[in-house]
Structure 1
């Protein structure tokens, strides 16, 4: 069926925005469906991902779970992440399927990436140190992003990944940014979390920063702020947080 000019323009806009929209969806995910394989038998399970600074999905998996044993034998896997549906039709739900290779995180990287995973899932601190758990990282090889009905786009890993130099600059500055914001600007955290992200109550803290956004937490509740566009350095983070805090205060009538 031929597309009219308006439909072709909409498809072109969707294709151009697909890598960024997919990244926002991946960064914001608190749950996903993991597909593994046991011999010739496919297997799907619920997992709770976070992302490394370079966007690689992180999974905290128990050795008692079938999917962990599957990955140890066959590291090829897929991860389905979905967003909220804007209509009663589930096909309008934005979603991204990631295919790739999973591997246990080396000991040298484990502490930093475990802290990042726990920043997204603070409730898991109760069991994160049990000996049967280990941290896995998925290297993305390809993605299929669906922005809604008839808006499907296949993405190479290279199109999806953030700029590595920006990733390194933000990772090196993250601890200083988090400490400064929490110590000197707790009011900004509250304005962003409550004014923009639907949070409530006091005690919100900045817990993680990456090139695409940052995470705020209060107890076991976590809210994700997605930047309007990827940032390249600490100054970019600062500008994004200033704009977000200003918008949050305006939303709260302050």
Structure 2
């Protein structure tokens, strides 16, 4: 009987980090763990999620919520993103716990990115007790099933954007243009490149590593072949992806 090379089966940290980033980008919800202000015990709650251009978790919470009161006293927090879905054995599925300190997020970018993924939140986003927060990532623990356990550093999880200031500044225009004028291309990305179901997919964000698209509670991450740092480079890569998608369908 041929022997199995266990070393060859073990994924590299690069692969694990890519998987963790994808989980974070695709997550619509997560479990937020805070330090309870009254008891000092861990307190876990459900929140809806988006990410900023770097990939850090962004969320909208109310001062009336217990987790917000906790964060106002102690900013330490962690967020569990669970992608195990309906697996018969969820312990064989992928999940990542991101740890760091929560802070108020810049209103403009966080608001646009969050509401693009959670349009229903537009109803209460302007209530005076609600505000956008961001988890300043300090590390993460990724589990992708048996033997796939890694600790990750911020540089493993976040996409550098220092050289992509023009892209970040123009993100709203790019996303709006794609959704209004190139919905067919977005649908091609979803179906031909990501294996998604046909439908009116929308783009919610773009960053140097790729773009995020959503449809009726489903999300997908479309990766670029190379890092982009400007609207022009992003356009070229989006056109290339559309051509690749058409070629696959043909």
| Residue of structure 2 in register with 1:133 after alignment | 130
CA distance in structure 2 between the partners assigned to 1:230 and 1:31 by the alignment = 28
| Residue of structure 2 in register with 1:161 after alignment | 158
**Number of equivalences:** 244
Aligned equivalent of 1:112, options 100, 109, 115:
109
TM-score, L = length of structure 2: 0.84
Give per-residue Cα distances to partners, 1:44-73, cap 9 Å, x unaligned.
111111111122211100111111111111
Q: What secondary structure, in the 3-state scheme, does the structure 1 residue paired with 2:96 have?
A: strand
Deviation at 1:33, TM superposition (A): 0.6
Give per-residue Cα distances to partners, 1:210-246, cap 9 Å, x unaligned.
223223356x656333305562324553344234434
Q: 1:82 to 1:239 in 2, by over 3 A?
A: farther
Of 109-118 and 22-31, the range deviating more from structure 2: 109-118
TM-score, L = length of structure 1: 0.83
Of 17-26 and 226-235, the range deviating more from structure 2: 226-235
- Tell me if 1:145 matches 2:142: yes
CA distance in structure 2 between the partners assigned to 1:165 and 1:111 by the alignment = 18
| Residue of structure 1 in register with 2:59 after alignment | 59
Q: What secondary structure, in the 3-state scheme, does the structure 1 residue paired with 2:145 have?
A: coil
Of 30-39 and 187-196, the range deviating more from structure 2: 187-196
- Tell me if 1:233 matches 2:232: no
| Residue of structure 2 in register with 1:37 after alignment | 35
Q: What secondary structure, in the 3-state scheme, does the structure 1 residue paired with 2:170 have?
A: helix
| Residue of structure 2 in register with 1:223 after alignment | 219
| Residue of structure 2 in register with 1:18 after alignment | 16
Aligned equivalent of 2:118, options 117, 121, 133:
121
Aligned equivalent of 1:172, options 139, 157, 169:
169
Contact 2:25–2:221 (Cα < 8 Å) also in 1? no
Deviation at 1:188, TM superposition (A): 1.0
User: Structure 1 unaligned runs (5+)?
Assistant: none
Deviation at 1:16, TM superposition (A): 2.8
CA distance in structure 2 between the partners assigned to 1:135 and 1:43 by the alignment = 20
CA distance in structure 1 between the partners assigned to 2:228 and 2:162 by the alignment = 8
CA distance in structure 2 between the partners assigned to 1:134 and 1:230 by the alignment = 34
Give per-residue Cα distances to partners, 1:8-63, cap 9 Å, x unaligned.
2222x332312111111111110101111114211111111111112221110011
